[in-house]
Chain A
Amino acid sequence: MILQYEIIKYRALAELRAEVRRGYLGMLWWILEPLLYMSVFYVLFAVGLRRGGPDFVPFLLTGLVAWKWFATSVNRGSGVLLANANLIRQVDLPKYLFPAVSLVVNTFKFIIVFVMLIGFLLWYGIPVTSSWLMVFILISAQLLFSAAVSFWVAALVPIVPDLKLVIENCLLLLFFVSGVFFDMSKVEPRVQTFLLLNPMAWLIDAYRGVLLRGTVPDIGYLAGVITFSCVLLYSGYRFLCWYGHEYPKIIR
């Protein structure tokens, strides 16, 4: 068990180091890449489409930062066993290690971006309230949810490779309905109830509430997201263990 922890730690470190050494700009990319990503949307929505109105930029960025962490985790998770095919065919390792490593790497990068976001909000003049502390709970809930989804996609994509395309398009759809660039509270109540079945839509709204509006998120829903994520995560973990010895045969 301790060894598995070491494997996750050293593999994650290795991936981050490898990324740094690959490009000319190295570590700068951890800051530049999200900046580029967000400026694309900023240009599109704030300048191009002239949407939003006052305080649209902090509103948009908060949503984008949370969304990007989730989307990257799921995307990486869906390809992670295939990316490690060589290793899987030569060493008998618990398969959950692979999505776990990729999640640690993504979370590390998210933390950098999140700190940047907080810096931006302070600079923008958003008042710091005690509700900001809730953000740690929201991050933990999202970490659980992302882990759960990426365990499952990592487990299923090698079995049914066609799913990769389905997942990519689902992510695109989710991006549009998660409220990254619209305000959930302004949606018609019936539609809103429906949209909030998606934990990411709720989480994005909760981040905004906590950071921008100074409101405390609905504890009942939060508990629901955490419970749901835990069940999904544990079942994904069990599935990866149960099916673990089949992957070396189907991945090539």
Chain B
Amino acid sequence: MAAGRQPVISLQNVGVAYKVKAGFLRRRRVWALQDVSFDVYEGETLGVVGRNGAGKSTLLQVLTGIILPDRGLITSRKDCRISLLSLQAGFVQPLTGRENAILSGLFFGIRPGTMKDMMDKIADFSGLGAYMDQPVNTYSTGMRARLGFAVAFHADPDIILIDEVLGVGDQEFKEKSEAAMRQKISSNKTVVIVSHNANTILELCDRVVWIENGASKMVGLPAEVVGKYQEQIYSKRMKNTAGQVRQVK
């Protein structure tokens, strides 16, 4: 599906190191990502699977440009708004839903004026109704997530990165957000989804990257990669076989 197109983001042997305290006045480097290589193509939905601690969240931060790789290379197309679909990033608790929507919009690069014009749609989509004028600290967790999702969805970045988001809110909103996501995904939007839920990945993605111990272990079609991934999970032997990076296009 992605063949022949230009990559919008390209990672080559990307590694990210964290500095960890190692005694008095000493720091040690810990590599959260060792060696990750793959391309993200325009209009595709790319899944990222991997166990907890494999480096998925760090990878999303690298893709968004929040952190830069310590080794390797990442190139992304210019003038491309890449956003992590982070729910409720930077909500100011005593402010109302409406006020927070405008603040959040700013982080997606949306001007307050534009945000105000979209407010009715956001209120409608989130289903919060009169709660939009209530302080966010009176919201339930699900309601906050609804607001966050509604803002992110309407901010409409060029590339959306999603961290396990499709489990937002109650059944009704979950269906709504999933439908909305699906619409985005089918509307030629570039999406990267990180999940350890194999079903989500199988259902939504065009291609899948499997991250294991900070390295891209396998890139390919969903059925193939997820199959291998699950095989390894179910086989109790968690032997470290990282390093055999396979590029499948």
Binding site for B on A (CB under 8 A): 3, 6-7, 10-11, 14-15, 17-18, 21-22, 84, 86-93, 245-246, 248-250
Q: Is the interface of A mostly helix, strand, loop or mixed?
A: helix
A90 pairs with B86, CB closer than 8 A = yes
**In the complex, the 5 A-B pairs of residues with the closest C-beta atoms, listed nearest first:** A90-B86, A87-B90, A21-B94, A90-B89, A245-B68
Contact of A11 (CB < 8 Å), options: B86, B93, B103, B109: B103
Contacting A87 at CB < 8 Å: which of B65, B93, B107, B135?
Answer: B107
- Residue contact B67 to A248, C-beta cutoff 8 Å: yes
Q: Please give, as numbers and ranges, the residues of chain B lying within 8 Å of A246 by CB-CB distance.
A: 67
Task: Take A6-B112, A248-B66 as given contacts and tell me if A91 and B107 are in contact as well, using a CB distance cutoff of 8 Å.
Answer: yes
Chain A contacts for B66, CB-based, 8 A: 88-92, 245, 248
B90 touches A7 (CB 8 A): no
Tell me which residues from 68 to 107 in chain B have a Cβ below 8 Å from any Cβ of chain A: 68, 83-84, 86, 89-90, 92-95, 99, 102-103, 106-107
Question: Which residue of A3, A11, A86, A249 is within 8 Å of B18 (Cβ)?
Answer: A249
B109 touches A3 (CB 8 A): yes
Which among A21, A86, A250 is the interface contact of B95 at CB below 8 angstroms? A21
The minimal Cβ–Cβ distance linking B90 to chain A, given in whole angstroms, is: 4
Q: Which residues of A contact B16 (CB under 8 A)?
A: 249
| Contact, CB under 8 Å: B112 / A10 | yes
Known: A18-B95, A248-B66. A86 touches B106 (CB 8 A): no
Asked if B13 CB lies within 8 Å of chain A CBs, one says: no
B19 within 8 A of A: yes
- How far apart sit A11 and B106, CA to CA, in the bound complex (Å)? 10
Contact: B89 with A87, CB < 8 Å?
yes
Q: Chain A residues with Cβ under 8 A from B61's Cβ?
A: 89, 248
CA distance A15 to B91 in the complex (A): 11
Taking CB atoms, residues of chain A closer than 8 Å to B65 are 92, 245
B246 within 8 A of A: no
Q: How far is the CB of B36 from chain A (nearest CB, A)?
A: 16
Q: Taking the complex as formed, is B64 at the interface, i.e. its CB lies under 8 A from any CB of chain A?
A: yes
B94 touches A7 (CB 8 A): no
Given contacts A21-B95, A86-B90, A92-B64, 9 further A-B contacts (CB under 8 A): A6-B111, A7-B106, A11-B103, A21-B135, A89-B66, A91-B89, A93-B107, A245-B65, A249-B19
Q: Are A14 and B86 in contact (CB under 8 A)?
A: no
- How many B residues, CB 8 Å from partner? 27
Q: Chain B residues near A248 (CB, 8 Å)?
A: 61, 66-67
Known contacts A90-B84, A91-B84, A17 near B95 by CB under 8 Å: yes
Distance, CA A6 to CA B104, complexed state (A): 12
B127 to nearest A CB, angstroms?
24
Task: Determine the chain A residues whose CB is within 8 A of the CB of B18 once the complex forms.
Answer: 249-250
B99 lies within 8 A of A14 (CB): yes
Q: Is the CB of A17 within 8 A of B86?
A: no
Is B86 touching A249 in the complex (CB atoms < 8 A)? no
Give the residue of A3, A14, A22 whose beta carbon is less than 8 angstroms from that of B111.
A3
A-B contact pairs, 25 of them (CB 8 A): A3-B106, A6-B111, A14-B95, A14-B99, A14-B103, A18-B93, A22-B94, A86-B89, A87-B89, A87-B90, A89-B61, A89-B66, A90-B86, A90-B89, A91-B66, A91-B83, A91-B84, A91-B89, A91-B90, A92-B65, A245-B68, A246-B67, A249-B18, A249-B19, A250-B18
In the complex, what residue of chain B is closest to A252 when comparing beta carbons? B18
Q: From residue B105, how far is it (CB to closest CB) to chain A in Å?
A: 9
CB distance from B134 to the nearest CB of A (A): 12
A17 CA to B103 CA in the complex, in Å?
Answer: 13
What residue of chain B has the Cβ atom nearest to residue A14's Cβ? B92
Q: A88 to chain B: which residues have CB within 8 Å?
A: 66
Interface core residue of A11, A18, A84, A249 (most chain B CB under 10 Å)? A249
Rounded to whole Å, the gap between the CB of B165 and the closest CB of chain A is 12
Which residues of chain B are near A7, meaning CB under 8 Å?
106-107
Contacts A14-B95, A87-B89, A250-B19 given; does A245 touch B67 at CB 8 Å: yes
Residue on A nearest B32 in the bound complex, by CB: A249
Contacts of B109 in A (CB 8 A): 3
In angstroms, Cα B16 to Cα A14, docked, is: 34
Chain B hits for A84, CB < 8 A: 90
For residue A93, which residue of chain B has the nearest CB? Answer: B107
**Smallest Cβ distance from B86 to chain A, in angstroms?**
4
**Interface positions of B from 12 to 45, Cβ below 8 Å from A:** 16, 18-19
Specify which chain A residues have a CB less than 8 angstroms from the CB of B107 in the assembled complex: 7, 87, 91, 93
